[in-house]
Structure 1
Amino acid sequence: MELTRREFLQYTAVTAAGAMLAGVPFLKGAEAAAKEEKTMEFVENLEVPYSTGRSVPTIAMPENACDCAHHIYDPVRFPYKPSDTRNQPPAGVDVYRLLQKKLGMTRSVVIQPSAYGTDNRCLIDALEQLGENSRGVAVVEDSVTDEELERLHHAGVRGLRYNVSRGATLEAGKVLRMGERIKGFGNWHLDFWVPADIVIGYREMFEKLAVPCVFDHRGHLPQAQGIRHPAFSMITDLMKEGKAWVKLSALYHDSNLEHDYADTVAIGKAYVEAAHERVLWGTDWPHPSEFSAKRDFPDDAHLLDLLAIQAPDEKVRHQILVENPEALFGFNR
């Protein structure tokens, strides 16, 4: 899926709008309010790149709501690793800020995309741009030095990712040693993009980890089995023991449906009912899997509204969007 001329022009327009947004906090009084109102009118009527639709969420967004899973791509300034062939178009911080405005969210967690491998320069640059309201999840080699881990911590990184779908290997001994190495930083975790059929073979490793583990995209339970898959009970046991968290992100992953994703929504609802105090939410913007598959991009506002089905209670949604991210990623610390 290459950018059309229309999409490229739109991308250029919203990047300019992102720069305009960045200037709003430096204005004062009526001038700032007028500019903010004009900008919001623009955002509410905009189809943000890599996100279909012009609507905004219908559910109320609490203050400090956090998008716990998104990516930033800047191939002009930070080239992709040579082996990456998907060639994801630019999806920079300025454009992401427009999505934040549209969704009414102010905090975010930037996940290192596989296109960069273990080169975390784009991630660190994004964290610097986004400031104190953002945290990061990096990818490193097992041989990473303590000095580099400390540098990542000071940049805002609070976790390390293992993406099995893009070549990461799970060697229990090495994963456990990495957990021991990072536990002293505080509010660090290990993040796992791992199919459910593989997850179930690593229960002992997850039990022994010195830091919490986070399962991306509902633990990738296969649609045909859903919560009947043994990984669901294993993950929820770990959640109840205070050892694991689950992201209700990218509903289109592992779903055979479109638009309302009733199958993966049902899985998300089951996780909330089991241990809502260990549940997170994220967009997965700019939806790299959908770009790679040449499918239409989802409507992020609609995906956020579907959280109301997974977590009908407003207080529970507040915990998922605000309190849980604060506890895991150490916002305000």
Structure 2
Amino acid sequence: MSLEIAPAPASLGGASAFTMPAGACDCHVHVFDPARFPLAAHRTYTPGIASIAALEGLLASLGVARTVLVQPSVYGDDNSCLLEALHHLGERARAVIVIDPETVTDAQLRDFHDAGARGVRVNLESKGETRTTAARDAFIATAARVAGHGFAVQIYADMSLLTGLADAIAAAPVQVVLDHFAGAKAERGPDQPGFAELLDLFATGHVWVKLSAPYRASRDPSHADLAPIARAMIAARPDRLVWASDWPHTGGGKDRALLGPEAVEPFRTIDDMAALRELAGWCGEERIFQRILADNAAQLFDF
């Protein structure tokens, strides 16, 4: 992939070309090294290798200066692989870790923060968790544990769960980040359960959404059906959105169920530059594109 560079436009229009802003950040990537860092025994899938070198190649090809490493479900709460990558990347990177809120110590939280972690993930979707009570309990326990330690809490869940989580998120003592278009499904449109709650949560000022992995939100290869949702979010709070590729694009759905947890699951083939063009088209204006791709990420993840 090659970066398309054009003179800075007043409007991005169709966004066939655009200027990558300084400090651009990919806010959601994973590193997998199963040979050196064993995967969790009770996992739902087995990924291939996604090395630090391959990640650096991706960032260079996109012209992206910064990144946020996110702990994948297959490593459970053993953050060793992520921490090695974080150390290697240095000030170019931040991280979102996974913890057990009942056992993690204050000293461990300080060490994670010193290493560059700025978020803690509550991954409900990968566990297939759809029960409101269980989701609330997991979020509240994690938010309470990390409050005052400099971490946001990042939730991966279907948007419909926001109907039961909204009050807890609104009252949370931490910044809250909602993964992958806040779990929206494009075919359900802006009137889907949870979308109104999201717009209300935006008003609190401490809720953020990752415009990431459009292929998880839309079944349309062009993602045209996702545009109304993306544009509604951008119109509501352009200062509370960040962008991410979700590299190396793990699979999911029925294919994962057919493979089983032990078989190595192939990564999806995704054009990450095309995803950036989509974002530019949704933004329409260079200043909004820069805010989402660079400025907001710097604020949220403390670059």
2:109 corresponds to 1:149: yes
What residue is the counterpart of 2:8 in the other structure? none
Output the TM-score relative to the length of structure 1: 0.78
The Cα of 1:79 is off from its aligned counterpart by 1.0
- Alpha-carbon distance change, 75 to 239 in structure 1, aligned in 2, over 3 angstroms: same
Task: Give distance in 2, aligned partners of 1:175 and 1:283.
Answer: 24
2:231 corresponds to 1:269: yes
The Cα of 1:168 is off from its aligned counterpart by 7.8
The Cα of 1:120 is off from its aligned counterpart by 0.4
Aligned residue pairs, count: 276
Task: Give distance in 2, aligned partners of 1:277 and 1:70.
Answer: 21
Task: Give distance in 2, aligned partners of 1:219 and 1:148.
Answer: 29
What residue is the counterpart of 2:43 in the other structure? 84
Task: Give distance in 1, aligned partners of 2:281 and 2:189.
Answer: 17
Q: Which moved more, 1:114-123 or 1:174-183?
A: 174-183
What is the Cα-based RMSD across aligned positions, in Å? 2.1
Task: Give distance in 1, aligned partners of 2:86 and 2:233.
Answer: 30
2:162 corresponds to 1:162: no
Q: Percent identity?
A: 33
Structure 2 residue matching 1:135: 3-state secondary structure: strand
The Cα of 1:240 is off from its aligned counterpart by 2.3
Structure 2 residue matching 1:306: 3-state secondary structure: helix
Structure 2 unmatched runs, 5+? 4-15, 257-264
Answer whether contact 1:223 1:263 (CA < 8 A) is retained. Answer: yes
Task: Give distance in 1, aligned partners of 2:147 and 2:44.
Answer: 35
Higher relative contact order, chain-length normalized (CA < 8 Å, sep 6+): 2
Q: How does 1:24-173 map to 2 (within 5 A)?
A: 44=2, 58-84=17-43, 86-143=45-102, 144-167=104-127, 170-173=134-137
The Cα of 1:189 is off from its aligned counterpart by 0.7
Opposite residue 20 of structure 2, the aligned amino acid is M
- Alpha-carbon distance change, 84 to 182 in structure 1, aligned in 2, over 3 angstroms: closer
Answer whether contact 2:97 2:119 (CA < 8 A) is retained. Answer: yes
The Cα of 1:185 is off from its aligned counterpart by 2.5
2:158 corresponds to 1:198: no
- Alpha-carbon distance change, 71 to 279 in structure 1, aligned in 2, over 3 angstroms: same
Task: Give distance in 2, aligned partners of 1:250 and 1:217.
Answer: 6
The Cα of 1:296 is off from its aligned counterpart by 4.5
Could you say which structure has the larger radius of gyration?
1
The Cα of 1:243 is off from its aligned counterpart by 2.0
**Correspondent of 2:294 among 317, 322, 328:** 322
The Cα of 1:177 is off from its aligned counterpart by 4.3
Opposite residue 146 of structure 2, the aligned amino acid is I
Q: How does 1:240-319 map to 2 (within 5 A)?
A: 240-258=203-221, 260-289=222-251, 292=256, 296-319=268-291
More helix by share: 1
Q: Which moved more, 1:167-176 or 1:76-85?
A: 167-176
